[in-house]
Amino acid sequence: MTRARFALLALPLAFLTSCGNQIPPAQNYGTIRGRAYDVATNQPVAGVGVSVLTIINATTGSDGTYTLVNIPAGSYGPMGITPPSGYTVQPNPAYSGSIALGETVTVDIPLTKR
């Protein structure tokens, strides 16, 4: 490796290490997870969009589950729920709440088929 290439590779690494630890540890945040399901059948519903604080988003998988990570401690909500075509969202007071450092909150999403 030539000195020029070494310098080009080492310079960004030196810069990053000099910045210190700018990313707070995971315990400084909370997690919201849950399951979207059809109220009539209790079957999971895939493709439900879930968001909090307008910038943290997830979509339910084939098993109906989702996970939102890195939620700042404090109040959250109301959560944004975007059901797939043919479903409507049931009212749920848990769509707003508060979360503590390192806490995991479970918020299930009941859906009704139109």
Domain spans in the chain, listed from the N-terminal domain onward? 24-113
Q: How does strand 97-99 pair with strand 49-52?
A: unpaired
Report pLDDT digits (tens) over 79-114. Answer: 999 999 999 998 888 899 999 999 999 999 999 998
Distance CA 61, CA 6 (A): 44
Quote the pLDDT of residue 31.
Answer: 96
Mean local confidence (pLDDT), 21-41 = 82
Fold of the domain spanning 24-113? Immunoglobulin-like (2.60.40)
The better pLDDT of the pair 64, 26 is held by 64
Among candidates 102, 90, 101, which has minimal Cα distance to 40?
Answer: 90
Lowest mean pLDDT among 13-17, 49-53, 110-114: 13-17
Distance CA 8, CA 41 (A): 59
Q: Is the pLDDT of residue 26 over 70?
A: no
